[in-house]
């Protein structure tokens, strides 16, 4: 249902009703609620399921109460804020923070072993790769287990794993130590160039 349809269906209060509802005191609202609740639940026993006929019989009452509540709330808010002066505050926008570009250090593949914790760019030949379901492991510099660097391709980067064997590639990422071997985890295909 569109907003226009909702307004046509449910926004049915007349100006006279709006004026009356907003002039009623909160004590009147409480008394009305008590009377309506007594009427709605007089025929219902504890634990009883309410059937569709009962629902259809009383849904107009519920809709009217929702209309009244909204209109009365709007009236109370208008009373509270009609005489309030809005103070316009000048807001000075701060410049955007500088782009947080990580310093990428170019490193020779044989020197990656000394770059743990650093974000590097390195180039090497792919000697082998292995798809282990959650990622593709790519070995640079030599075949497993003598590789100088393992590149773990995950997410979108994983799709390029099968195209890399026997190619020279450049990868960019943070060097970590995984069981004594150097590794870079890549999820962004843009971090691999071949």
Over residues 76-95, the pLDDT tens digits come to 888 888 887 878 888 787 77
Helix (H) or strand (E) holding 68: helix 52-81
Helix (H) or strand (E) holding 193: strand 192-193
DSSP state of 49: P
Rounded to the nearest angstrom, the gap between the alpha carbon of residue 81 and the centroid of all alpha carbons in its chain is 34
Q: Are 149 and 140 in contact (CB under 8 A)?
A: yes
Helix, strand, or coil (residue 105) = strand
Question: Is-above-0.75 flag for pTM?
Answer: no
The β-bridge relationship of strands 149-153 and 105-106 is unpaired
- Arithmetic mean of pLDDT, 12-16: 85
Q: Are 141 and 151 in contact (CB under 8 A)?
A: no
pLDDT at 23: 87
Rounded to the nearest angstrom, the gap between the alpha carbon of residue 178 and the centroid of all alpha carbons in its chain is 32
**Confidence bin at 163 (pLDDT 50/70/90):** confident
């Amino acid at each position: 249902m569109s907003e226009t349809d909702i307004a046509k269906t449910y926004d049915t209060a007349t100006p006279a009703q709006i004026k009356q509802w907003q002039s009623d005191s909160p004590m009147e609202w409480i008394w009305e609620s008590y009377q309506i609740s007594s009427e709605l639940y007089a025929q219902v026993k504890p634990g009883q399921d309410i059937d569709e006929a009962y629902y259809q019989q009383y849904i107009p009452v519920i809709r009217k109460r929702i209309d009244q509540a909204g209109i009365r709330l709007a009236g109370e808010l208008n009373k509270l804020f009609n005489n309030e002066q809005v103070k316009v505050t000048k807001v000075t926008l701060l410049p955007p923070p500088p782009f947080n570009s990580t310093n990428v250090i170019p490193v020779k593949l044989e020197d990656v072993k000394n770059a743990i914790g650093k974000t590097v760019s390195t180039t090497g030949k792919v000697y082998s790769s292995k798809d282990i379901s959650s990622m593709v492991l790519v070995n640079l510099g030599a075949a497993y287990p003598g590789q100088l660097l393992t590149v773990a391709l995950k997410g979108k980067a994983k799709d390029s794993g099968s195209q890399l064997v026997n190619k020279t590639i450049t990868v960019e990422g943070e060097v970590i130590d995984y069981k004594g071997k150097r590794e870079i985890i890549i999820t962004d295909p843009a971090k691999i160039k071949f």
